[in-house]
Structure 1
Amino acid sequence: MHDPRWLQLIDRVRADTPRLLDDFLTELSTHDGYVGDLVAADDIERTARNAFALFASRLAGDAGAEEPSAFAEALGLRRARQGVRVERFMEAVRINFRVLWRGLERAAQPDLTDVLLAHGEQVLDVVERYATEVQRAFLEESESMAHQHRTAKERARARLFSGQAEGEELTAIAHMLRLAPAAEYEMLATTHDAERLAREVLDSGGQVFEDGLTTVLLRPRRGPVDWVDADPELTGGYLARVRGLDRVGSAALIASDLAERADEGTVCRLRDGFASIARETMLERLDGFTHELTGAFDALPESERERLAVTLRTFIRTGSMQRTAEELFFHRNTVLKRLRAFQDLSGLDVTVPRDAAIAMVILDL
């Protein structure tokens, strides 16, 4: 059972609640970004009044005072949802303690100072318990909110990079991910140095999406110099201009396709991988009819097809019989004979742009 003189001191503090509130609000008002910013003034006053009432109840040992405080838990949860930073929230709790202690000192004058000193440790225990309760509730709710936000952002990224979002949903995704819907972006799909690149892209205001073993990176375009030209260490599939978020889904598919075609340590642009991608697409539509384009070429033994293909590939790339001969260490007439042999077999004259385009795509040259 408590000392009657201690209970007398607590009763004096309860009677002094209006002054405690004034002192608390005055001190708290000196901390920017709390009162009137994130938390309404009437909320602050009501909360402070309830906090002082809880302190007095626990100090007096009232019935039920030892139970966990629903008020403290609700306060921590509410402040987390209001967006108050944890350090500002806990500073308000510390102000509660300072104001309470000054109120106890006033109430103890002149005849109960010895009682206050005798119960000083109890005061500390009550305030520390309150601080622990509100902080635990605040941090748990903050973590829950952060998890929900992360989950929501992950869903938003998945929808964005899948290309399924449009209209109002795309606008909402742009807002959540802090992206400009109509801006111009660059995209790289890679399996190399993804962690470093992800940090750089996120710091630059971009977004990152993990697609299996491939990391797709989207960042705002910064100027005329392509990302891959500014960073020679990049490897993978690259698109220089993705005009608007509504094209991110299709861009991700293309960039991932290009990444699969990139040689180790190199960047594959759309021009580099176009023929290969086009060939795959066309073969689905032309299944069983490619002979209409390649004639008897497909009937040659594989070694002979590859021998001619090396010459065709080099010629299409250089556009010159002389350079082709020099690169392959052939006589110019050898190059000419192989091109004619291919024309006799397939009916395609690769010195003619139309036929060269067909050969490049269908034969993946």
Structure 2
Amino acid sequence: MHNNEDVAVSRRWSELVELLHDRVDTLAGKFITQVREIPEYRESAVDTDEIMLTARETFHRLVNALRSGGSRPGGELDGEFSAALGAKRARSGIPAEALISAVRLDFTILWAELLAIADPADAPMLTSRVDQVWRVVDEFAARTNASYLNERVRMAQEESSIQNEFIARLFSVVNPSAETAAQVADALGVSVDARFGLVAASGSAAALLRTAQGKAATRRNQRLFLRESGDMAYVFWPVPASRAGDDKAVIFTVPQVFADIPCGVAEANGLRGLPKAARTASSLAALLQPADTGPLSANQAWPRLAKRQLAEAGLDLVEEIDAALEPCRGAERERLTEAARHFLQSGSVALTAEGLFCHRNTVLNRLNRFQELTGIDLTVPNQVARLVVAWA
């Protein structure tokens, strides 16, 4: 008796599945209606006719899987179909979450149709079969999603390779042509005339730059591009433009991911200015000192740059100042240089006196003595610049 009941249940299930097979076009039509309620599909460029054909083929294969009673939809042929579908949706720019939502509509539509064509007496049988329907759809969804993700990785690698090729072309010359800059702008998806920030580092700091750029690249709101040349690593990014009606200029800031990395930093007006900015940033990176714990800009390091250039020309300002202070006796030299350094920081006798815990007349006397020995008047900018560079 029990066997007869099992045979009857199986026969009835087969009847319902055959009815589903005859309604593939109806299932596909319902899918079209519901999938267009997903914003990413509604706003995508995927043609409705193409979605209809894909939906019809999908339901045909899912119903065939239910027909055979297996959990692997359609065998190897279906594996090819789900792989093609996942790759196709990836190339269409459909987000992963939207794709999964669309594929899972298959279960909702299949199950709703089964309930619609079944009799009340079929309820126990349907309850026992819900897991089978879910497994079939879930397996199809998993295969489609795996193919989608693989295609996205492949697309990202291709895009990165293409971008690296154009970036290398941009940095290969001192002054890129307007045509080259326009091509690079198209490849990177940026404005050719935008402002750009650029950081540069070598050695262990370069490794930190690469890691930070890689992490930031996964965030859609952050566009950071990597350029490597020998031991140097460069990362550049477009600086956001000011909003319409905003008269305030956008203040250039280094992305937070680089805030704790010792590196040189520079700006460029337009893509064509990036090679020059790279040279500036790499020069600044070469001036980094152990005490530097973050990006070093030209505004901060111009005295170091000037000191290095003068040294390369054979002029040692430190040696000159040391020789001028040679007549100092005892602690006089320390007091004079201390007063001069404090005054350089503020340009104020009062603040210098406050910082040194002494009377302002004492500060004036020390500054006058310093001028007497070195010939440098700390109130004359042209002369002060020599001292700033020497002590950089």
TM score, norm. by length of structure 1? 0.65
Give SS of 1:67's match: helix
Residue 135, structure 1, aligned to residue 176, structure 2: no
Question: Equivalents in 1 of 2:101, 2:259: separation in Å?
Answer: 49
Describe how 1:126-275 pairs up with structure 2 within 5 A.
Answer: 126-163=136-173, 166-190=177-201, 191=205, 207=225, 209=227, 212=231, 216-217=235-236, 220=239, 223=249, 236-239=263-266, 241-265=267-291, 267=296, 269=298, 271-272=302-303, 273-274=305-306
Change beyond 3 A, Cα 1:311–1:255: farther
Question: Equivalents in 2 of 1:36, 1:197: separation in Å?
Answer: 33
Cα deviation, residue 254, structure 1:
2.6
Give SS of 2:286's match: helix
8 Å CA contact 2:265–2:284 kept in 1: the answer is yes
Cα displacement string for residues 72-113 of structure 1 (whole angstroms, at most 9, x for unaligned residues): 111111011111111111111111111111222233336755
Question: Equivalents in 1 of 2:198, 2:62: separation in Å?
Answer: 58
Amino acid at match of 1:73: A
Question: Equivalents in 1 of 2:252, 2:14: separation in Å?
Answer: 76
Question: Equivalents in 1 of 2:130, 2:235: separation in Å?
Answer: 60
User: Would you say how many aligned residue pairs link Structure 1 and Structure 2?
Assistant: 311
Cα deviation, residue 133, structure 1:
1.4
Cα deviation, residue 48, structure 1:
0.9
Cα deviation, residue 45, structure 1:
0.7
8 Å CA contact 1:163–1:250 kept in 2: the answer is no
Amino acid at match of 1:109: D
Gaps of 5+ in 1: 284-289, 298-304, 337-352
8 Å CA contact 2:40–2:95 kept in 1: the answer is no
Question: Equivalents in 2 of 1:311, 1:218: separation in Å?
Answer: 47
8 Å CA contact 1:59–1:126 kept in 2: the answer is yes
Amino acid at match of 1:65: G
Cα displacement string for residues 30-67 of structure 1 (whole angstroms, at most 9, x for unaligned residues): 22220462321001111111011001211112999333
Give SS of 2:183's match: helix
Cα deviation, residue 27, structure 1:
1.9
Tell me the equivalent position of 2:75: 66
8 Å CA contact 1:179–1:206 kept in 2: the answer is no
8 Å CA contact 1:206–1:220 kept in 2: the answer is no
Tell me the equivalent position of 1:42: 49
Change beyond 3 A, Cα 1:233–1:108: closer
Amino acid at match of 2:286: E
Question: Equivalents in 1 of 2:250, 2:60: separation in Å?
Answer: 65
Cα deviation, residue 247, structure 1:
2.0
Select 2:308's aligned residue among 269, 276, 297. 276
8 Å CA contact 2:226–2:233 kept in 1: the answer is no
CA RMSD of aligned residues (A): 4.8
Cα deviation, residue 311, structure 1:
5.0
Give SS of 1:147's match: helix
Q: Which moved more, 1:87-96 or 1:164-173?
A: 164-173
Gaps of 5+ in 2: 1-6, 243-248, 326-336, 338-343, 345-362, 376-381
Give SS of 1:242's match: strand
8 Å CA contact 1:216–1:252 kept in 2: the answer is no
Q: Which moved more, 1:51-60 or 1:188-197?
A: 188-197
Give SS of 1:105's match: helix
Question: Equivalents in 1 of 2:75, 2:57: separation in Å?
Answer: 16
8 Å CA contact 1:35–1:41 kept in 2: the answer is no
Change beyond 3 A, Cα 1:170–1:73: same
8 Å CA contact 1:13–1:104 kept in 2: the answer is yes
Sequence identity (%): 23
Change beyond 3 A, Cα 1:153–1:91: same
Select 2:90's aligned residue among 72, 80, 99. 80
Question: Equivalents in 2 of 1:238, 1:328: separation in Å?
Answer: 38
